[in-house]
A and B are shown apart, each in its own frame.
Chain A
Amino acid sequence: MVEVQNVTKIYGDKKAVDDISFTVNSGEIVGFLGPNGAGKSTTMNIITGYLSSSSGTVTVDGCEILDDPKGVKSKIGYLPEIPPLYTEMTVRKYLGFMYDLKHVKLEKEEHIDEICRLVKIDAVEDRIIKNLSKGYKQRVGLAQALLGNPPVLILDEPTVGLDPKQIIEIRNLVKDLGKKHTVILSSHILSEVQAICDRVLIISNGRIVADSPTADLSKVLGKSGKLRIQVKGGKTSIIDTVSSVKGVKSVKTERELQNGVYEFIVESDSELDVRESVFWKLSEAKLPMLLMQSADPTLEEIFLKLTNDTNYTKQGGGKK
């Protein structure tokens, strides 16, 4: 649906986007993840035709942005980082204007009503945008992007500045939209991308450092076979018991939580699932286990590792 090939954007002597390539398939929800200034917005601005790339091509649904900018633009609904709102207009008037601007062919009043209901702004339709709260402004921006039901939606940090309730609402809305549209969204909040997206592209310093399905990201990049356990009992006896389990390579004491309760990191062969054996061994030894969880790196840790570690950047870039 959206194909980005070797796109580079140079501002003066700074490479904001450095040779990015990726493809987004129809119906996918893809998240751009990266620290501030990584090139997320620039990439989105290039896809939507607001900026031109210094080199490289962008194709949306078969239309190339340089050959057929109107074709590409009519297929994309874009919510920029700052919603492009004419604040002196009422919500209804504004959406009417955007409807005319986009040459939407659907029945005007009906279509605007439908979208207002969808993003839940039907109650503020006749209010002047200037007087709306940040959350409502964001929704009006989203409504604007949805006009004409474009097959591709590009949302630049759609939940920034919203309160937790609104964030959840917008996330659910985006998820719903993902059923009918191809969605590309950006965020610097990992849990958000994890919650909404099918696939994650991690961008750092203008390059893609990782591209994988959300569910696989930690497996692919951070498989360690580590377990975190908390056990009550004597420290040495616990270590002895756990070490005797087949497949366990090492047991490290993390810390003492309270009197007689210790936390350990158990490292094992990654192919072997040692959880059950560890449980039985400890229960046979009458050492009660209070907690067991996978100590695989969280998305946060992977993210920080990818965006900080330059070696990793090179590998990741090469991988793509």
Chain B
Amino acid sequence: MRAIIKRELYSYFCSPMAYVVMAIFLFFSGIFFTMICLGNSTSELNYVFSNMCLVTIFITPILCMRLLSDEKRLRTDQALLTSPVSILSIVLGKFFSACILFLICMSIFVIYGFTLSFFVTPKWSVIICNCLGLFLLAAALIAIDVFLSSLTESQVIAAVTGFAAGLFVYLLDNVASAVSVSFVNKALTSVSFLTHYQNFTVGLLSLSDVVFFLSVAALFIFLTVRVIEKRRWS
């Protein structure tokens, strides 16, 4: 698994991919930070984080589109699958490499925190809670996108379906409010990414939200392993 993480990070950074993703992330987080915090003279990073949700939905498919689809297209999966490593560790390697790149993007929030600390004492605990929320959201989305990229040989299809999936989970709240049947409404709300994420942005760290994102990630990693496994049998 370590070898795969190392290789994926290498390939992120020796192609424009990592820099483009980081640039997008920094650009938007910078705009939000400047407009919301510096513009309004507030030390609340909460609004910045709730806006970052949409940015995350757009950059995770780009991070993941290549991960498994390219392996299949270039037949490099033959090297991976005939090496003495389990499919799970291959998938986890891919997943963690995308997570690590996202974490690198997120490190900018440390700078924002320090910038604020020139003016007031920032609520570090709230910022950390927000960071954790954003990271968990990204991890769940990355798992979904890795799964989508295992289904196709085309990076473009992987990315487009990734955007669609991201938008869908983002809009689940709106869908839920349009449904009048109460148990459907409840079910949709409880799997809404936005609802769970917003708890973090207001500084609420609840175990159920953490478990929610982690189980989404685990579910899609499991499904990805099954997809690859199935390909061997059919």
Seen from chain A, the residues whose Cβ lies within 8 Å of a Cβ on chain B are 11, 45, 48-52, 69-71, 73-74, 76, 78, 80, 82, 84-89, 93, 97-98, 100-103, 144
Contact = CB atoms under 8 A, between A and B. Distances in A.
Contacts, number: 72
A73 B82 contact: yes
Contact of A100 (B3, B11, B15): B3
Contacts of B82: 48-50, 73, 76, 78
Given A50-B232, A101-B83, A86 B78 contact: no
Contacts of A101: 3-4, 79-80, 83, 85
A100 B1 CA distance: 9
B6 A97 contact: yes
Contacts of A103: 84-85
A70 B84 contact: yes
A223 B15 CA distance: 61
B74 A87 contact: yes
Interface residues of B, number: 25
Given A86-B74, A101-B3, 19 more contacts: A48-B82, A49-B82, A70-B84, A76-B82, A78-B82, A82-B75, A82-B78, A84-B75, A84-B76, A84-B80, A86-B7, A86-B76, A88-B14, A88-B15, A89-B7, A89-B11, A89-B14, A101-B85, A103-B85
A100 B6 contact: yes
A156 to B, nearest CB: 10
Contacts of A70: 84-86
B11 A88 contact: yes
B77 A84 contact: yes
Contacts of A80: 75, 78-79
B233 interface: yes
Contact of A144 (B74, B75, B79, B234): B79
Contacts of B110: none
A50 B83 CA distance: 9
Contacts of B79: 78, 80, 84, 98, 101, 144
B123 interface: no
A171 B106 CA distance: 53
A-B interface, 8 closest residue pairs, ranked by CB to CB distance from nearest? A100-B3, A84-B79, A74-B84, A70-B84, A84-B76, A73-B84, A48-B82, A80-B78
A82 B232 CA distance: 18
B186 interface: no
Contacts of A98: 79, 83
A48 B80 CA distance: 11
B95 to A, nearest CB: 17
Contacts of B86: 70
B10 interface: yes
A97 B3 CA distance: 6
A97 B93 CA distance: 13
Nearest to B87: A69
17 contacts: A11-B234, A45-B78, A69-B84, A73-B82, A78-B82, A80-B75, A80-B78, A84-B74, A84-B75, A84-B76, A84-B80, A86-B7, A86-B74, A88-B14, A101-B79, A103-B85, A144-B79
